Amino acid sequence: MSRRWRVVRRRAGQVVTALGSNVHIFARPQRRQELAWCFETALGCGPVATVEHPGMDQPMLLVRFPSGGHLSIEFTDDAPDAAHPRLGAWLELRTENPAALMRAALDAGLTEVKHPGHPYYVMAPGGQVFTIAPAS
């Protein structure tokens, strides 16, 4: 460990030990229905909730994953949007059968993304990429 890291860690008084199970992303308002369909139907995550939040112009979508964790989607005209994969954070979905979920996503019309890191990547409407990985 570098000296700089030790000093920063000591000043902070704590060390990050895990990545949380809640994710928040931004999307353009015109993607609302496509994104709800993507998670409810194409990826089979169950009903997507609409959540009003004080201070936000538009309600968010909230995906509650059956095995835990949440994805909230906030809508703003300034959000990145593309018909090709975004070059930001790529998020991981876990399932007992990655090949079956990938097949269902492709059959529903989602776009496959090729990358050497894992065999299964899919792009949601607006360009957000998700890796589909084994649950265990």
Each residue's pLDDT tens digit, 65-123: 988 999 999 999 999 999 999 988 999 999 999 999 999 999 999 999 999 989 999 99
pLDDT digits (tens, 9 = 90+) for 18-63: 778 999 999 999 999 999 999 999 999 989 999 998 988 899 999 9
pTM across the whole model: 0.83
Element (H, E) at 98: helix 98-107
Alpha-carbon distance 121 to 90, whole Å?
A: 9
